[in-house]
Amino acid sequence: MNGKIVVYSPGRANLIGEHTDYNDGFILPFAIKRYVKIEIEPSKKFRVFSEQIKKGIEFNTLEKTNSWADYVIGMIVKLKEHGYDVKPFNMKIDSNLPMGAGLSSSAALEVGAGYAILSMMNYDINREELAKIAHECEVEFVGVRCGIMDQYAVALSKENHALFIDTMTREYKYIPFHLDSARIYLVDSGIKHELGSSEYNKRRKQCELALEAMGKKSFREVTMDDVEKLIEPVLKKRALHVIMENERVLKTLSALETENLQLVGRYLYESHYSLKDNYEVSCEEIDFMIEQFEEYADIYGARIVGAGFGGSVIVLANENFERIFEKVSQKYTTKFGIIPKLLTVETSEGVFRLE
Ligand code: GLA
């Protein structure tokens, strides 16, 4: 239990399968080489310091603070509930993962903090359990009723693979992610998804109401006929998104297997339009960007990623994308006065300790 431990916890993107993870659906996320870096060492008191905002907090009790520190405090609370001993520590947090860009900086912090604490306390780490505890932290302590995607992707991803998860059984498998000439890019729209959590919880509620109205326990039992019978138009659109998006995830798996990138790209665009029109979680700025991208044959597909209402766009394209991005970016800035940022993405391992 001596000395400083350094942990890197990645952000995540999701190729496809959006807003399906709390609906017993399928998802295909992967971790990216952008990290929350956490340094931890034993101390007399609990102290957490953020390098980015140059602010720290010290605490003796494990109460909610309604600040970023809750991701760490919540992890302590949840680890204890799961029977782990947690002694006071000094924790320093740094990050090159943009916040509020829909790349799961919060899950990266939760999973990373948990990994660091367990390492400091000399526990063997079970990644699935860590993901589960981090998810409980987000839902029960922080209070966002998210699905399991972010915490699982951060904890369990493998380099050069996407992580296919059946969120109903929580079974997962690694899908080799070789794109040859193509690349994955992320564009940070510069729109922060502040509306996010209230609208997110609303979408969850609507899905529950849709299930109830269809007389089903799980979206996995829902057929197109059931959806057609829904009377309330909003509930119908939400349900339509969920079952079609699940289908798209499975079709994307087959398209990846045969390396048919045109097809993968088409599913990305379809996913975007369903998120925009049926699930209504996109925004004007990102819709404009996607429309621009559609003009270029070098781009296979693109869509809004994560919870929505801003954040990032995932793009599957060939290497000409950087030039295209310059052009689109200029138009975007002229129209909205915001400069979007391009992140070139490489897949990463899940959370790890620097040896
Ligand atoms: C957020 C949540 C995830 C998932 C996505 C939408 O990132 O944290 O659990 O629901 O939105 O797919």
Tell me, yes or no, if 150 is annotated catalytic.
Answer: yes
Stretch (H or E) spanning 110: helix 105-120
Q: Report the candidate in 329, 326, 332, 33 with the shortest Cα–Cα distance to residue 184.
A: 33
Q: Report the candidate in 187, 223, 227 with the shortest Cα–Cα distance to residue 210.
A: 227
> Strand, coil or helix: what is 281?
coil
pLDDT of amino acid 194: 67
More confident residue, 2 or 329: 329
Nearest ligand 1 atom to the CA of 21 is 10
pLDDT of amino acid 3: 84
Distance CA 116, CA 119 (A): 5
Query: Are the CB atoms for 11 and 105 separated by under 8 Å?
Result: yes
Instruction: Check pLDDT > 70 for residue 210.
Output: yes
Ligand 1 centre distance from Cα of residue 200 (Å): 8
CA distances for 117 relative to 47, 73, 79, 141, 235, angstroms:
13, 11, 9, 18, 42
Span 45-62, average pLDDT? 94
From first CA to last CA, the distance across the chain in angstroms is 15
pLDDT of amino acid 195: 58
* pTM summary value: 0.95
Query: Pocket around ligand 1: residues whose beta carbon is below 6 Å from it?
Result: 18-19, 21-22, 146-147, 149-150, 306-307
Distance CA 155, CA 144 (A): 19
Lowest mean pLDDT among 1-5, 205-209, 257-261, 341-345: 1-5
Span 142-165, average pLDDT? 96
Give Cα 168 distance to the centre of its chain. Answer: 17
Q: Report the candidate in 153, 159, 147 with the shortest Cα–Cα distance to residue 172.
A: 153
% pLDDT > 90, the chain:
91
Q: What is the tens place of the pLDDT at every residue in 303-336?
A: 999 999 999 999 999 999 999 999 999 999 999 9
Distance CA 84, CA 81 (A): 7
Options 21, 24, 70, 150, the catalytic residue: 150
Residues with Cβ within 8 Å of 205's Cβ and at least 6 positions away in sequence, in order, are: none
Q: What is the tens place of the pLDDT at every residue in 10-52?
A: 999 999 999 999 999 999 999 999 999 999 999 999 999 999 9
Query: Are the CB atoms for 150 and 107 separated by under 8 Å?
Result: yes
pLDDT of amino acid 188: 94
Q: Report the candidate in 141, 82, 61 with the shortest Cα–Cα distance to residue 109.
A: 141
Instruction: Check pLDDT > 70 for residue 1.
Output: no
Q: Report the candidate in 248, 250, 243 with the shortest Cα–Cα distance to residue 223.
A: 243
